[in-house]
Amino acid sequence: MSTPTLQLSLGPVLFYWTRERYANFYREAADWPVEIVTLGETVCSRRRDMKLDDWLGIGRELTQAGKQVVLASQTLIESEADLRDLRKLCDNGDFIVEANDQSALQRLSCAGLPFIAGAALNLYNPATLGVMKRTGMQRWQAPVEMSKKDLAQLIADCHQAGVSQPCEVFAYGHLPLAWSSRCFTARRHQTPKDRCKFVCQKYPEGLVLRSQESRDVFTLNGIQTLSSACQDLRYELPDMAAMGVSVARLSPRAEGMAEIVKAFDQARQNRLPPPDPLSVVDAEICDGYWYGQPGMDNTRTVAS
């Protein structure tokens, strides 16, 4: 069996779970075939059950289990308190940080610390990736809306321009699509964000937003809006590796993550059974972005 060239990473948990749930999840994840685990709260500064020390503790355990650990910064920075938390995160001394906002870029580049560039930084061209490489970027994530064709060209152009760095693609999970200062989960409960009573914890995989025809469209997750369907690029992994993608990111879901990781691990070794159109239809899958179509499209249902 050939050694897989594509690494698998576990993205940060985007949802607001309980401490117990996080602890159990990462205890299990220690045994999963993923090389990289990204930890931390990237969505809402009001989600404070887990302190930085808690993440560092989990990080050390995962390091012991042989994982590369990354700490992710918050995507929307709004206040001085957010900046104080960001500073502590950047100065953690142990783990590399995933910058999800330009405030993090500033902290990290000023401190001379290397960083991973997150998907919301909008890195679409070699010139921008050149700037990022100059400031200390070690790996970058493609914007979620970027197609395979564009990404292949971008990776090739970066190579030519001498600004190549390992690239990570969002390969599985609810796609992070937008951030607001308004909390849509609190709004559903008719309470202001400042008195949200942490209702997000009631929804370990977000709250479904449907059209008036009962078509699932988005997933509300506090101030974040995610896709309703799960992007699933498991069958694309060989192509991804061939075009120079280094890491496939799997975004944690509340249930069944062990099976998903296993399927991706098999897929990167070309050992996945062929797609079963029926089961795919049941799972609410999308892969449109990868094919340059609307992100919600599922190209695999077309034939069935």
Partner 1 sequence: MELVCPAGNLPALKRAVDEGADAVYFGFQNATNARQFAGLNFTDKRAREGIDYAHQRGKRILCAINTYPQPDGWQQWTRAVDQAADLGVDALILADMGLLDYAAQRHPNVARHLSVQGSATSHEALRFYHDHFGITRAVLPRVLSITQVRDLAKQTPVELEVFAFGSLCIMAEGRCYLSSYLTGDSPNTRGVCSPAAHVRWEETPQGLESRLNNVLIDRYAEGERAGYPTLCKGRFEVGGETYHAIEEPTSLNTLELLPELRELGISAVKIEGRQRSPAYVSKVAGIWRQALDRLEDAPGRFQPEHAWMAGLAELSEGATTTLGAYERRWK
CA–CA separation, 153 and 28 (whole Å) = 37
The answer to whether the CB of 234 falls within 8 A of the CB of 268 is no
Interactions with partner 1, residue window 33-72 (CB under 8 A):
none
Decide whether 131 or 283 has the Cβ nearer to partner 1.
131
Interactions with partner 1, residue window 145-204 (CB under 8 A):
145-146, 150-151, 153-154, 157, 175, 177-184, 187-188, 192-194
Judged by CB under 8 A, the residue of 7, 9, 38, 103 near partner 1 is 103
Q: Distance of alpha carbon 265 from its chain centroid, rounded?
A: 17
Query: Could you identify the residue written with the tokens 């779970």?
Result: 17
Judged by CB under 8 A, the residue of 70, 76, 96, 171 near partner 1 is 76
Residue type, 215: R
CA–CA separation, 44 and 148 (whole Å) = 30
Which residues in 234-257 are b (16+ Cβ under 10 Å) and which e? bebbeebbebbbbbbbbbbbeeeb
Judged by CB under 8 A, the residue of 106, 138, 191, 266 near partner 1 is 106
Minimum distance, C-beta of residue 51 to partner 1, in the bound complex (Å): 21
Does the footprint of partner 1 cover residue 15 (CB under 8 A)?
no
Residue 183 is labelled as binding a ligand: yes
Decide whether 13 or 76 has the Cβ nearer to partner 1.
76
CA–CA separation, 301 and 304 (whole Å) = 5
Residue 158 is labelled as binding a ligand: no
Decide whether 204 or 295 has the Cβ nearer to partner 1.
295
Residue 286 is labelled as binding a ligand: no
The answer to whether the CB of 256 falls within 8 A of the CB of 250 is no
Decide whether 153 or 304 has the Cβ nearer to partner 1.
153
Does the footprint of partner 1 cover residue 209 (CB under 8 A)?
yes
CA–CA separation, 298 and 214 (whole Å) = 18
Query: Which residue stretch of 7-15, 65-73, 131-139, 238-246 sits at the interface with partner 1 (rule: CB under 8 A)?
Result: 131-139
Minimum distance, C-beta of residue 252 to partner 1, in the bound complex (Å): 20
CA–CA separation, 91 and 97 (whole Å) = 9
Tokens of 204: 């370990």
The answer to whether the CB of 170 falls within 8 A of the CB of 144 is yes
Judged by CB under 8 A, the residue of 124, 138, 244, 254 near partner 1 is 124
